[in-house]
Structure 1
C-alpha cells in the first residue's frame, strides 16, 4: 500500500479495483485524501480534469493507504470497503 499523499495531480484518474474494473474517477483531493465519484459520466470526467467537481454525496474518500499502485492514468486499489463489489 502507498503512503504517498494523494495530490491534485491525481484528479481525473480512474480508480481501478483488484479485479481490474474501473470503480470511479478522482474528482477532487483535499488534505491528501482523494474523493472518488463512483458513477461518473463523461461530463464528470471532463469537470474533474478542469477542477470543477467538489465533494458530494456521490463521492467516497480514498486514502493513500488504500492505493496499491499509481500510474499516470489510474490508481489501483485493494481491500477498500465497497470498492471490489462495484
Structure 2
C-alpha cells in the first residue's frame, strides 16, 4: 500500500530529489495540498515529460503525491519510475 503524504507549507524550500539522487528542483509553493516545484534549469525535457510536467508561465510544476517516495526535514524524494 502506497503511503499518503499531507503536503503543507512546511515543504516550501525543500529540495526535490529524483530516485537516482539527482536534484531536480525546489518546492516554491503549496496550493491546496499540492507542492509546486521550480525545476532546475538543467532538468531535461525527457524527465519533465516522464513526470507529466508541461511548461507553465510561472515555471512551477505540480508534484503529484503518487510520485513521492519520502519526505524528510530537508527534501522530497521521488519514486523510481
User: TM-score when scaled to structure 1?
Assistant: 0.67
Gaps of 5+ in 1: 41-54, 81-86
In the TM superposition, what whole-angstrom CA distance separates every residue of 1:34-85 from its partner, at most 9, and x where no partner exists?
Answer: 0000027xxxxxxxxxxxxxx85311111222110111000000256xxxxx
Residue number in structure 2 paired with 1:25? 26
Residue number in structure 2 paired with 1:36? 37
Rounded Cα–Cα distance in structure 1 between residues aligned with 2:37 and 2:60: 5
Tell me the CA shift for residue 2 of structure 1.
Answer: 3.4
Contact 2:20 2:80 in 1 (8 A): no
Residue number in structure 2 paired with 1:51? none
Contact 1:24 1:39 in 2 (8 A): yes
Rounded Cα–Cα distance in structure 1 between residues aligned with 2:76 and 2:18: 9
User: Residues 38 and 74 (structure 1 numbering): CA distance in 2 closer, same or farther, change over 3 Å?
Assistant: same
Give the ranges of 4+ consecutive aligned residues of structure 1 lying more than 3 Å apart after TM superposition: none
Contact 2:38 2:61 in 1 (8 A): yes
In the TM superposition, what whole-angstrom CA distance separates every residue of 1:15-37 from its partner, at most 9, and x where no partner exists?
Answer: 00011010000000011100000
User: TM-score when scaled to structure 2?
Assistant: 0.71
1:58 aligns with 2:59: yes
Gaps of 5+ in 2: 42-55
